[in-house]
Amino acid sequence: MAADFGYVNARVRGLRSRLLPEGFFGEQVGAGGFAELSAALAQSPYARELDEARAEHGPLAAVDAALARNFVRVTGSLLDASRGAAHELIALLLRRYDLANLKAVVRGLHAGRTADETMVAVLPAGSLNASVLRAMAGAEDAAAAGQVLAIARHPLSEAFRKGAAAYRDDGDLLRFEVALDRAFHAQWIADAKRLPAPAGFRRWARAEIDATNLRTALKLRDRPADPADYFLAGGRDLTPAVYARIASLPKGEPLPQLKGVLSPVSGAADASEAESRLVGALDLILRRLSLDPLDVGLVADYLRRKERETAQLRLLARGKYYGVPRAALAKELGDA
Amino acid sequence: MAENIAPTRSNLLQRRDQLKLAVRGADLLKRKRDALIGEFFALVKTSLAARRALTEASQEAYLSLFLANAWDGPESLRSLGLAEGRALDVEIKVENLFGVKVPQVQPPEFGDAELPFSPMGVGARTLDTAAQFRALTEAIVRVAATETRLRRIGEEIKKTSRRVNALEQLVIPNIGRQIKDIRSVLDQRALEEVTVLKRIKSKLESRDDERQAKERSRTAA
């Protein structure tokens, strides 16, 4: 049975109409400085968050904080507006923010940071809210933080508990993080199969695993790490052999011929070109998925658009604040 | 004369020895200063190159941070910053350069390839930024190392120049004046002795002449 996305998608269409228009960035690059951008944002859907953030932060940090708050508010509203399978699917889409926040908590505990110090490194855009994350960040150790996570009934709580137990014995942060990554991706694929989503969504979920593996292989080039330690199962178009081959290529060597969803990345000369083509390929899948007005694809596509808009605004704000030349700024924005 | 020195021959000999020592010392210090100046200018080139490298590394690192903050998000960077909590070991040796103790700082080795966190889910730009900031830290330590050496050598050149000037402008002229004064007193004394001796001799001669004249008159009588 398909999840009920009728109501949620009506809200998403409303939210999508509140995304900044295509021409906004082009106009702002050509317009004045940071003050003009702030004024434009004060007239945009970010006005409320910007007003709040200005009371607490300096000019640039206020923009960052406003963008983060707006994103958290939007994702929170999507979770609140959905029920049943639709809620689970949206929570699945947002679970990577939970993963990033759990890693921040673990890193904070590893480095002996206070809860306040750790909380500046989290973005509670997933199903774990700020109060749960603060309780975890202020826990005595990773095992105690795992108990807080278990009370919140989070899907990663079991993996966290096991990781914390191993960490107590060896203190190996890297191993802990990799265990969380593996558990997250295994559950990502399992939940994508379990939940009532269209086949296209499952293909996209597997393509995301392939993309993560490809990105990891590119990051591991010229490093002594064993690539096999970081390969994630569940993808479709990137075999372990091709992954290992890419990881062993020296930087600057073009990528080999790839297949399926990764085929546009074939022959990319460097990591940034590969990333740009990869994002294009994944966005294309999402755009196709979003054509169904009664399924999860519209939410996934909206979230991707929102993330890109947030990143572009961060870039634009920094560019204006530091006086980056217009041509350089326009080029960077074009890579989005 | 600046101080009261007994104008004796032993003092004269002592002052002459002191003069020789001072002249030799000034000559040695001048040679040391020249060697330090040579080292200083050689190091200036290294220091300027290190400064240029620092400027370039700084530009690259901050541009990279700018992009990583924009694309990967400030929370992501702060999160990785929590993981990177290690101390930096810098090895410092003390080298003896023409008698000057100058520090020799070894830039830190990061083991660039090490990953203290899982690479999955970390933005490529963030990893680039981490590498750029490691390079920036190395560049800072290199500049600190060369500029500390430069400062120590510069201080030593100033100190040596002050010593050379003190020897050439004060000590050597002072000893020279003392020698001149002692010699002049001793010469005067010698002259006085000669005069006294001449007078004694002339008195003795006149006494002899008188005695001979008396004997001659007695013989004639």
Inter-residue contact A313 to A19 (CB < 8 Å): no
Confidence of residue A47 (pLDDT cuts 50, 70, 90): very high
Print burial letters for B57-75: b (CB count within 10 Å at least 16), e (below 16): bbebbeebbbbbbbbbbbb
In this structure, are A79 and A177 located in the same domain?
yes
Q: Do A137 and A210 sit in the same domain of this protein?
A: no
| Interface membership of B139 toward A (CB under 8 Å) | no
CB-based contacts of A274, cutoff 8 Å, min separation 6: A214, A218, A255, A265, A268
Are A212 and B121 a contacting pair at CB < 8 A? yes
* Mutant choice from B58, B71, B80, B82 vs A, greatest count of A C-beta within 10 A: B82
Q: Which helix (H) or strand (E) holds B93?
A: strand B91-97
**Residue A182 sits in the same domain as residue A207:** no
Summarised one tens digit per residue, pLDDT across range B164-175 is 999 999 999 999
pLDDT digits (tens, 9 = 90+) for A63-87: 999 999 999 999 999 999 999 999 9
Closest CA to A178 of B120, B190, B103, B167: B120
Q: Which residue has the tokens 């080298």?
A: B95
Contacts B122 to A, Cβ<8 Å? 219
Smallest Cβ distance to A177: which of B74, B117, B124?
Answer: B117
Structural domain contains residue A57? yes
Is A296 among the domain residues? no
Q: How many angstroms away from the CA of B161 is the closest CA of chain A?
A: 47
Q: Rounded mean pLDDT of chain A?
A: 92
Neighbour-count burial of A66, counting CB atoms closer than 10 A to its CB (0-12 exposed, 13-18 middle, 19+ buried): buried
pLDDT at B28: 94
Strand-pairing partners, residue A297, are none
pLDDT, residue B85, reads 63
Q: Is the pLDDT of residue A242 over 60?
A: yes
State whether B82 and A311 contact (CB < 8 Å). no
Please tell me the predicted confidence (pLDDT) of residue B50. Answer: 94
Which regions in chain B score pLDDT beneath 50? 1
Q: Which of A162, A172, A160 is nearest to A136 (CA)?
A: A160
Burial class (CB in 10 A: 0-12, 13-18, 19+), A161: middle
Residue A64 burial (CB count, 10 A):
22
Can you give the pLDDT at residue B90?
83
Cα distances (Å, whole numbers) of residue B171 to B3, B168, B177, B183: 13, 6, 10, 18
Burial category of A98 from C-beta neighbours within 10 Å (exposed 0-12, middle 13-18, buried 19 and up): buried
Whole-number pLDDT of residue A1? 47
Q: Is B87 on the interface with A (CB under 8 A)?
A: no
CA–CA separation, A162 and B28 (whole Å): 73
- pLDDT tens-digit map of A218-235: 988 888 888 999 999 999
Q: What is the mean pLDDT of residues A263-267?
A: 93
Q: Which of A39-43, A257-261, A292-296 has the lowest mean pLDDT?
A: A292-296
Is residue A156 located within the same domain as residue A219? no
**Nearest chain B CA: its distance from A7 CA (Å):** 31
Between A96, A112, A122, which is nearest B75 by CB? A122
A265: pLDDT strictly greater than 90: yes
The chain A residue lying nearest B71, using CA atoms, is: A311
pLDDT in the model for residue B35: 92
Residue range(s) defining the domain that contains residue A216: 199-291
- Is B69 near chain A, with CB under 8 Å? yes
Residues A71 and A204 grouped into a single domain: no
The pLDDT of residue A237 is above 90: yes
Confidence of residue A2 (pLDDT cuts 50, 70, 90): low
Q: CA distances (Å), B211 to each of B200, B204, B208, B218, in order?
A: 16, 10, 5, 11
Q: Which is nearest to A135 in space by CA: A121, A123, A151?
A: A151
Give A207-210's long-range contacts (Cβ < 8 A, gap of 24+): A207/A235, A207/A236, A207/A237, A207/A260, A207/A261, A207/A281, A207/A282, A207/A285, A208/A282, A209/A185, A209/A233, A209/A234, A209/A235, A209/A236, A210/A235, A210/A236, A210/A237, A210/A238, A210/A260, A210/A261, A210/A262
Q: Which of A103-112, A191-200, A310-319 comes out lowest in average pLDDT? A: A191-200
Number of domains in chain A: 2
Please, which pLDDT band fits residue A292 given cuts at 50, 70 and 90?
confident
CATH number, domain of A162, equals 1.20.1690.10
Side chain identity at residue B167, one-letter code: L
Whether residues A230 and A324 share a domain: the answer is no
Spell out which residues of chain B touch residue A215, defining contact as CB-CB under 8 Å. Answer: 124
- Where do the structural domains in chain B lie, given as residue ranges? 9-161
What is this model's ipTM? 0.89
Over residues A292-314, the mean pLDDT reads: 93
Q: Residue range A30-35: average pLDDT?
A: 88
Match domain B9-161 to its CATH number in 1.10.10.10, 3.30.70.270, 1.10.287.3240, 3.40.50.720. 1.10.287.3240
Q: Which residues of A touch B118 (CB under 8 A)?
A: 103, 174, 177-178, 180-181, 230
